[in-house]
Amino acid sequence: MIPSSYYLILSAVLFTIGVIGVLVRRNAIVIFMCIEMMLNAVNLTFITFSRYLNSLDGQIFVFLVMTVAAAEVAVGLAIVVSIFRLRETTDVEEINLMKW
């Protein structure tokens, strides 16, 4: 069995890449994809721990996380679509009415 830390470090790297993606990209949909990537990284962590601690709780948790992610994607993309209808753009920098 390979040490758990390998999986965990992989998970951390994926998470970090997701974070960078969220902050760097301007297309709302791509930002959303990066958020999904972050969620997956966390899922990997849960599964790792479930394996290495001989427990099924981690897997249940991942199951529920997936459920939530699905619902979230549906609603989130619906929001993106309606904003696009309004503003004709998916660039997050254009959506800045709450400025000082």
User: Residue 91, SS3?
Assistant: strand
Helix, strand, coil shares, percent, the chain, to 5: 80, 0, 20
Over the Cα atoms of the chain, what is R_g? Answer: 17
Q: Is 93 in the site for other proteins (CB under 8 A)?
A: yes
Closest CA to 77 of 19, 36, 16: 36
User: Residue 27, SS3?
Assistant: strand
Q: Is 86 in the site for other proteins (CB under 8 A)?
A: no
Q: Is 4 in the site for other proteins (CB under 8 A)?
A: yes
Q: Is 7 in the site for other proteins (CB under 8 A)?
A: yes
Name which of residues 28 to 57 contact other proteins (CB under 8 A): 29-30, 32-34, 36-37, 40, 43-44, 47-57
Q: Is 9 in the site for other proteins (CB under 8 A)?
A: yes
> Smallest distance, Å, CB 61 to other proteins?
9
Q: Is 63 in the site for other proteins (CB under 8 A)?
A: yes
Q: Is 14 in the site for other proteins (CB under 8 A)?
A: yes
DSSP E strands: which ranges in the chain?
A: none
